[in-house]
A and B are shown apart, each in its own frame.
Chain A
Amino acid sequence: MGLFVTFFHALRHRGVPVTFNEWLLLQNALSENLVDSSLTRFYYLARAILIKTEAHFDKYDQAFLECFGHIESDEDLIRTIEERLLRIPPLELTEEEKRMVEQLSLEEVRARFLDQLKNQDDELHVGGNKAIGIRGRSTHGAWGYNPAGIRIGQHESRMRSAIQIAEQRSFQNYRDDVTLDTRSIKTVLSYIRQVVREGPKDSLDIDGTIDATCRNAGELEFIWDRAKRKRIKLILLMDAGGTMNPHSELVSRLFSAAKDIVKDLQFYYFHNCVYQELYTDIWQMKAVPTRKVLDQMNRNYKVILVGDAYMAPSELLSPNGAIDYWYRNDRPGIEWLIDIRKRFRKVIWLNPEPEQWWASVPSTRMIQKVFPMYELTMAGMRSGARALIKQ
């Protein structure tokens, strides 16, 4: 029991939101004997009850190892014994010998079995009288002869032991604080889709119909409405500057995910910071005036800026501060950023650098004052998406 409480706290400590109700349900499952004293079953059952997203499976594995890792599982032991037992042909006994072994009672056998399990060493036992092994006259083992014997491992066990499974930590990739693949990005992006009415008027508005029919003194009058559809209008502004090179793979994944699921996607590139021009290509050859982009787009577009926000303060604060020597900007970058913030209702900044570094970079701190900034990870994007749909 104490161990289970430790487990509960180990999970909560790792940020898995386990509640008391789920805990009670697990106790319920234990008392229904669903676990059948098997650690492996316990591993899967407790996971099904306590954990509600694959993103937390890895934390579960870690907590499980911490609490149960030292337990030697019967299943391991049985399998080892079983494997050794299988190798050797059955024992033939004379009638007299059979009578001798029949004298032991089951109770005695049980007591001895437990005793021997404790003392069992790793040797292969053949033909002995005492240890668990094969072809023996001992009371425990298989393919031996003793009517009161305990047979171990008669059912096939294809389960891996719980500890081995937890040790593999095969769900590390599903954690939500590591970086993402295209599919998970799509999942997050689809979260910001919103329901709008569009298309032909082809769905019946029942309330309207009833209302209109009543007004019409019972003469049926149908009212039609446009169907609800899910849409995102998204502007993606991506930093293609040099310090972004290590993250280019990630950003391109974000971009391709966005292209796949966002019908109305506008995307532009910038170099370190946004100035009077944005670029429609990653090599920054084709420029469009930032002012024009700002003026033409509807305010309801959600805007995501992606960049490491890592630059010299002058790039942000001074006229002509752009990193490109030949580039002349009469307005400092920060003013352009503020313009973007003001123009659109919902804007966030996604930063591929780890959050704990942000505070030590002056330019990052300044940009954080303009936009809410989130880490470009699953968890960060999720919070970001939430901020984008909040009214």
Chain B
Amino acid sequence: MDRFKGTHSYILSDAMREIVNAAIVLQRPLLLKGEPGTGKTELAQVIAEDLNLRLIRWNIKSTSKATDGLYVYDTVQRLNDSRFHDKDVSDIRQYIKLGKLGEALRSEEQVVLLIDEIDKADLEFPNDLLFELDQMSFDVVETGDHFKAKHRPIVVITSNSEKELPDAFLRRCLFHYIDFPDPSMMERIAKVHFPNLRHNLLSQIVARFYFIRQRHELKKRPSTSELLDWIQALLAGGITEDELKKRLPFIGVLLKTEDDVAKVAVH
């Protein structure tokens, strides 16, 4: 198995690289937490890209059920078909539709499976996945079929800690908390996106950004993606370092509520 090294478009901390590799070798799901905009979801994409594997992305919603991730038995379609004699309804298999997890487990090649924002689902959701993630196999009750993954998928799970995850589930994962990047890391990230940006201007922008971010009482603190948008706006507006020292142009790109804008404007 190739080791995961990271790609040029995603700035990766050494700690994270080690942990990703450990998760692959130990065959455990990797659980990522961290503020929004710290690149949790992107990491799965980068792993897939770097190891040249297909990425299967399962976006969790508050209504998601673990069993739907494996497969859905389309009873309504079958009922409908039997009513109108469209198809041979005795073949149940044609009404079994694989979900994202089922797809990952049935894949011929190894894949990267991203279970995005697992905390959005019901409290019991992670526990319902325990067996399948451990054994990497599942049964289709309606047909009696048994599927086992030929290659264990690399599983990346993200959480915004909206809910606490059950202990039994946590015990099986490797856990990493992605810290918000420090200013020097942030400059490196910004450089990847704006390679031609002058260094002085960049550090000035980043300094202003952290000045705003550190204000504790903000309702929504701006994250990396907002900074990148802000840089875009500043460049388009032709703002110079001097202007940036005096005022904060295009502040609406960084702060999304009127309250927050007012709080920063006072200072």
Contacts and interface: CB of A to CB of B under 8 A. Distances in A.
Contacts of B79: 209-210, 213, 220
B110 interface: no
A204 interface: yes
B82 A25 contact: no
Nearest to A222: B76
B25 A181 contact: no
Interface residues of A, number: 46
Interface string A205-245: 01001100100001110000001101000000000000000
B76 A54 contact: no
B171 A44 contact: no
A183 to B, nearest CB: 8
Interface stretch (A45-53, A121-129, A279-287, A289-297): A45-53
Interface in A106-148: none
A187 interface: yes
Contact of A187 (B82, B162, B170): B162
A25 B173 CA distance: 10
Task: Decide if the interface of chain A is mainly helix, strand, loop or mixed.
Answer: helix
Interface string B8-48: 00000011001101110110100101000000000000000
Contacts, number: 86
Interface string A14-36: 00010101100100110010100
B171 A21 contact: yes
A204 B26 contact: no
Nearest to A206: B75
A187 to B, nearest CB: 5
A314 interface: no
A73 B229 CA distance: 42
A329 interface: no
Given A41-B18, A187-B162, A52 B28 contact: no
B14 A29 contact: no
B7 interface: no
B26 A25 contact: yes
B249 to A, nearest CB: 27
B59 interface: no
Nearest to A181: B216
B175 A51 contact: yes
Contact of B76 (A28, A41, A204): A204
A260 interface: yes
Contacts of A159: 14-15
Interface in B126-172: 161-164, 167, 170-171
B15 A44 contact: yes
Contacts of A51: 175
22 contacts: A17-B167, A29-B22, A29-B26, A32-B25, A34-B18, A34-B26, A40-B14, A45-B22, A48-B23, A48-B174, A52-B31, A52-B167, A52-B170, A53-B33, A181-B216, A191-B164, A210-B79, A218-B82, A218-B83, A228-B62, A260-B219, A382-B164
Interface of A: 17, 19, 21-22, 25, 28-29, 32, 34, 40-41, 44-45, 47-49, 51-54, 57, 158-159, 170-171, 174, 181-182, 187, 190-191, 195, 204, 206, 209-210, 213, 218-220, 227-228, 230, 256, 260, 382
